[in-house]
Each structure stands twice: as C-alpha cells, then as structure tokens.
Amino acid sequence: MSPSASRLSLGTKLGYAVGNVGLQMLIAAMSFLLMIFYTDVALVPPAVAGAALLVGKVWDTINDPLFGWMTDRTRSRHGRHRVYLIYGAIPLGLAAAAVWMVPPGLSPVAAFLWIAITYTVFDTMMTLVQLPYQAMAANMTQDYDERTSLTAFASMGALLGFFAGSVLMPVLVRAAPDARTGYALAGAVFGLVAGVAVAVVAWRVREPAAGAPPAAEADAPPLWASVRATLATTLHNRPFLLLMSAATLVRLGLTLVQASLAYFVIYQLQGDKGDLPRFMGTLLGVVGLSLFVWKVVVDRWEKNRAYILGLVLCAAGLLALYWVKPGDQHLMTAILVVVGIGMGAHWIVPFAMVPDTIDHGHMQAGERQTGMYYGLYGLMDKLARTLATVLVAGMLDVTGYVPNVAQSADALQGIALMTGVLPGLCLVLAIPLLLAYPITRARHAEIRGHTGMH
C-alpha cells in the first residue's frame, strides 16, 4: 500500500493493533507493579531500586535518537521498520521475562547491578521494537482522519494489553504458591505473549517501499554529524516540540498514578491486594468504552481541543483522589470513572497527532525523518516514566515507608500527593502547550499540498 493511500483495510488495522497488545502489556505491568515488586517482594530498598532503573534511562538519552536515525536509514528486503520486528520479537520476550526474576538474598549492591542490567537490556530491546512499530503507522497512511481510525484500532489493542498487564498479572501472581514465583511465572508468560504479538505484526503488516537512504550517498557526512543534523532539523519543528512537551507532562503525571496506585489502594484506602485488579478493571473498562466517544469527538473537533477536554476531566478526577479516606470504595470507583473518561483521550489523540507533525517537518526539511521523530518522542516518554518512578521511590524513602505494615501519616501523605495532586498538576500544565499547537485539519491539507501527498 502506498503511503498516500487514504484507506487501510480492516485486516491491516487489526494486524497492527495486535502488536500494541503485547507491548502495552509489558509497559503496564512495569508501570503499575514493578516498583512494588522490587520493594515488597524482592525486598530491595526503594532508593536502590529507583537508582538502578535510572541507569537504563541514561542509556536511553542516546539510544532513542540513535535508533530513530538508524531506522530512517535502514534498507532491507523486509522493509525499513518491519525488519526490527522480525528479529527483535524473541529477544524482547526473553529480556522482559528476566526483569521479574530477581534472585533472593541479594545485597543492595548486587540488587542494584541485577536491576540495572536486566532493565537496561529490556529497555534497549523495547526501543528497538517499539520505535519501528510506531513509525510504521506514520507511513501507512497520510490521511488526517484515517490516522485517527488507525490509532483507534491501535489504542484498543493497547487497552487490551494494558488490562492484561495491570489486572491479569496480579491475578496470576496470587494463584502461585508465593509472590516471588508468581511474578517470575507471570513475567515469563507476558514475555512470550509480547514476542508472539510483535511477530504477528511482522507477518501481517507491510510497509511502503522506501527509496535510497540519504547516508548511501558518496559524500554522506560521518555518522555522528548526520545524527546531529537530523536531530537539529527535528528540533526546529515547532508543532512537534509543543506536542512532545505536552505529552511528556501527561506521561509524567499518568506514570506517577500508575506507580503509586497500588500503594494508595493497599495503604491509604486500606483495601487488600485483591482490590487492585477490580479498580484497574473499572478504570480500563471506562477507558475502552470512551475510545469510541473520543473517536467521534476527534472526527468533529480539532485534535488538540479534544485532547485538552480529556486532560481537564482526568485532572479533575486525579485531584479529587486527595480527599479519599480509608474505606471509601464507592467514591474511589466514581473518581476512577471520571479519570478513565478523560484518560481515553490520551490513549488515542496524541498518537494521531504525531504523524501530522512529521508531515510538517517533511514540508520544512524536504526529507521524511520518521524514525528520528519517534526516537525523540519515545525518549521523552521513557524519561517521564523513569522520573515518575524515581520520584515515587524517593517519596517512599523520604517519608519512612515500611513494606507490608500500616504506614505513618507522613508516608500516607506522600502516597496521596504522588497518586493525585502532583499528577493532576502535570496534566494542567500541558494544556497551554496544546492551546498553542497550530496544526488543524485545514492546515494539514495545506501541508499535504506542499509536500505532494495525495
């Protein structure tokens, strides 16, 4: 299918969505449960776990833009991006499983090294697979509204994966003889499913043929100079910078919620670990239902306005969490419904906006640099996730958190702030950036005219 085709087949959309099931399964499990696994099951001090995770993100400051540049210049008989899915599926599954297999009895230094190495390897494989997977979507169609349709299918796949990672993993863990064994087995199952899901995309989805890579020219600049030049071009794309900055703030806020929610349910709400799957099921069920509504909203409104409406609803719900008291199960459920409705916008709208900004960059530079855009977007997304995880770990350490016992007033206050107030503020700060976002449906039609896309 040519990149300018306005319509994609149902089979192509469904095949592409399967990949998100596996990838988001891994992301959700690690966002919601990895920190509490380290602190309450592997018994690693929170500060040690947080510092070890940060190591992987230092490497991320290099690998996301570098891998993005590399995919833009990849040519193979399997395609520019699909080749990474073919050869990365099995290594990704193995690396994902290893993250959940922390040996018992490690010293703090040994635990730091184990977490840092296993998570860094996983993060590298995740970048090598997820970045090309996302970049494929930008090249599959350049129709403004068809991108929203493709994103809606991908978001449904992501939602199914997110449900499995956040709801089914605790169920699998509880079914095992002990928590450590449960997490190891669940991690192995999730790694297998993720590998198969990526393989399905590689088998089912084809991408447009690419021309000769710029680096193939005889007078091509050295690698680092080429990367720097491509990066500079990308950073001059104002719509992309506005969207990326807003989405990074939103990712920071939502990851704070994900990393803190288990602590909030168990210690602030005084529920048990069986309550977490129920609350997550409610939240993600509402997100799933809201996707159909947001698809209609985006078809009628501009994308940035729809995103802003979702953030307002989500922020209002998150701020309300601060007033939830022990035993307020019904209030907690009602708040999660509001949060889920608003969160649905984040699951669909920004991912439909990124390709539009890439088209704008194509118009500016005369060259389509899809991989670099997704590399930078992925870098900021991962840095936001890591910063949130480190903040939660630091909060637990500073406020005197002790695993598996009733918490002090200071620890509960910190958990409440990290779950509701700070995430809500992050979402509010993203709104002015989205108000300044300039690409409308009419403006995108002009961009397509300038770049010769039909």
Token pair listed for 247: 């989405």
pLDDT by residue (tens digit) across 147-164? 788 888 888 888 888 888
Q: Answer for the pair 284, 162: CB distance below 8 angstroms, yes or no.
A: yes
pLDDT value at residue 50: 82
pLDDT band at 34 (very low <50, low <70, confident <90, very high): confident
Residue 209: predicted pLDDT = 57
User: ∠ CA 416-422-423 to the nearest 5 degrees?
Assistant: 100
Of the ranges 245-259, 272-286, 298-312, 395-409, which one carries the lowest mean pLDDT score?
Answer: 272-286
The DSSP H or E segment spanning 334 is: helix 329-365
Structure confidence at residue 5 as a pLDDT band (50, 70, 90): very low
Q: Which of 248, 239, 243 is nearest to 426 (CA)?
A: 248
Task: Give CA–CA dist 16/125, Å, rounded.
Answer: 19
Could you tell me the two tokens for 438?
Answer: 């300039």
The pLDDT confidence band at residue 306, using thresholds 50, 70 and 90, is: very high
Q: 4 or 254: which carries more pLDDT confidence?
A: 254
Q: Which residue has the higher pLDDT, 272 or 236?
A: 236
Average of per-residue pLDDT across 307-316: 96
Q: Is the pLDDT of residue 125 over 90?
A: yes
Q: What are phi and psi of 274, to 5 degrees?
A: -75, -20
The whole-number average pLDDT for the span 257-270 is 87
Q: Does 90 score more than 90 pLDDT?
A: yes
Mean pLDDT value across residues 284-295:
88
- Using CA atoms, how far residue 193 sits from 88, 93, 177, 394, in Å, is 14, 8, 22, 33
Share of the chain above pLDDT 70, in %: 91
Q: Please tell me which residue, 1 or 60, carries the higher pLDDT value.
A: 60
DSSP annotation of 323: G
Q: Across all residues in the chain, what is the average pLDDT?
A: 85
Q: What percent of the chain has pLDDT over 90?
A: 36
Question: Per-residue pLDDT tens for 226-241?
Answer: 556 666 777 788 999 9
pLDDT of residue 274: 72
State the average pLDDT over residues 46-67. 80
Q: pLDDT tens digits for 351-393?
A: 889 888 888 887 776 666 777 788 788 778 878 887 887 888 8
Q: Could you give all domains of the chain from N- to C-terminal order, each with its CATH number?
A: 10-208+230-449 (1.20.1250.20)
Whole-angstrom distance, CA of residue 406 vs CA of residue 214: 60
Q: pLDDT band for position 98 (50/70/90)?
A: very high
Residue, of 47 and 302, whose pLDDT is higher: 302
Confidence (pLDDT) at 165:
85
- Give the per-residue pLDDT at 423: 95
